Structure 1
Amino acid sequence: MNETRTTIAAAARRILEDEGVAAVSMRRIATECGVSAMTPYWHFPNRQALLEQVCQEAFDEVATDWRQRTAHDDPLVELRAAADLLIDFALHRPRLYDYLFTAPRPAARRYPDDFTAGDSPTLNVLIEALTSGMRRGVLRDDDPVEVALTLAAQLHGLIALHHGGRIGLSDDEFRALCHRNLGRILDGITA
């Protein structure tokens, strides 16, 4: 990416993280970057294309970080570490989390096609740990994509309830709740 395009995408991401997706406008980004109102359009055809670039970069960064921080010989340790990283991401960057994982977006990855094709950078981390665990006999043999979807749905559901004020726990208590629920699922799939 050229420097101006990178600057524009970074400004969009900063606004999204600080204020939410509704605050991201091409005019505001131009103002923040100190460029003409048309400059963002020279690099992105529209706001949605810019937001999709932000999403792709964020998903790639998150997946890279997760892969580096979850690498372990024990797939159960990997799965718990991935869950912790998702919880951290949701608690510390809630607006970006919501836009990436729960907001309707035209280019959002969808089950089954995108997930079974390996096109989800973050779900792939779970799928790989589950596949490894099943191959090694640590986890019961099953469809790793569907099991990953079960784990992700459980965590995303709890996070959505927490973000919506429906779970009245501190962040530490919330994390413990997530761990207990994840433990119940892992107990059910352990060989």
Structure 2
Amino acid sequence: MSGTRAKIMAATREILESKGAGAVSMRSIAAACGISPMTPYWHFPSREALLEAVCAVAFDEVAEQWRGRERAAEPLADLVAIADLFIDFALARPRLYDYMFTAPRPGARQFPGDFAAGKSPTVNLIVEALTDGMRCGVLRDDDPVGLALTLAAQLHGLVALRHGGRIGIPDDAFRALCHDSLRRIFDGISK
């Protein structure tokens, strides 16, 4: 990646994380980089293409971090560890999280096709942990992609409520709420 392209992507991510997607414009990026307003267009055909490139890198970073975690020996504990990484990301980078996981984007992966085809680096980890749990007899046999959607949707719903100001509790209490919600789901899918 060229130095200018990397600089443009870094500035875009900074604006996205600090001010949100609405503040990202080719002019604001050019100003942040100290380049001409047309230079970003030499590297990205549009604002949307630039944001999508930033998202792709961010998804890869998140998946790599999650893959690098220490795996728990117990499948349910591993699922909770994945959930904690999801929660950590949502709490630490709320605007980036909202854009990556909530905003309509041309490159957003869709259920069921993209998830079933293994195209989601984050959902893939949940599917793998669920499959391990089914294989070792801790979880009932079921569709791991559908269950991954259930778990992700539950966490995402709680995060959306938190980001929207509907859940007004400290971070540790929010994490406990998420764990309790997951426990209820686990109770339903455990053998």
Instruction: Tell me the TM-score normalised to structure 1 length.
Output: 0.97
Query: Partner residue of 1:82?
Result: 82
Separation of aligned partners in 2, 1:83 and 1:41: 38
Show the 5 A alignment for 1:103-142: 103-142=103-142
Query: Partner residue of 2:102?
Result: 102
Q: Deviations over 1:4-53 (max 9, x none)?
A: 11111111001000000011111111111111111111110010000000
Query: Partner residue of 2:59?
Result: 59
Separation of aligned partners in 1, 2:103 and 2:70: 26
Match status 1:48 vs 2:65: no
Separation of aligned partners in 2, 1:75 and 1:14: 36
Query: Partner residue of 2:164?
Result: 164
1:125 counterpart letter in structure 2: L
Aligned length: 191
Match status 1:186 vs 2:186: yes
Q: CA deviation at 1:72?
A: 2.8
Secondary structure of 1:69's aligned partner: coil
Q: Deviations over 1:143-175 (max 9, x none)?
A: 000000000000000111111111121221111
Q: Show structure 1 runs of 4+ deviating over 4 A.
A: none
Q: CA deviation at 1:74?
A: 2.0
Query: Partner residue of 1:154?
Result: 154
Calculate percent identity across the aligned residue pairs. Answer: 68
* Structure 2, unpaired ranges of 5+: none
1:10 counterpart letter in structure 2: A
Distance change >3 Å, CA 154–CA 70, structure 1 → 2: farther
Residues 70 and 82 of structure 1 are in contact (CA less than 8 Å); yes or no, is this contact kept in structure 2?
A: no
* Structure 1, unpaired ranges of 5+: none
Match status 1:35 vs 2:48: no
Secondary structure of 2:68's aligned partner: helix
Secondary structure of 2:72's aligned partner: coil
Q: CA deviation at 1:70?
A: 4.7
Secondary structure of 1:22's aligned partner: helix
Instruction: Tell me the TM-score normalised to structure 2 length.
Output: 0.97
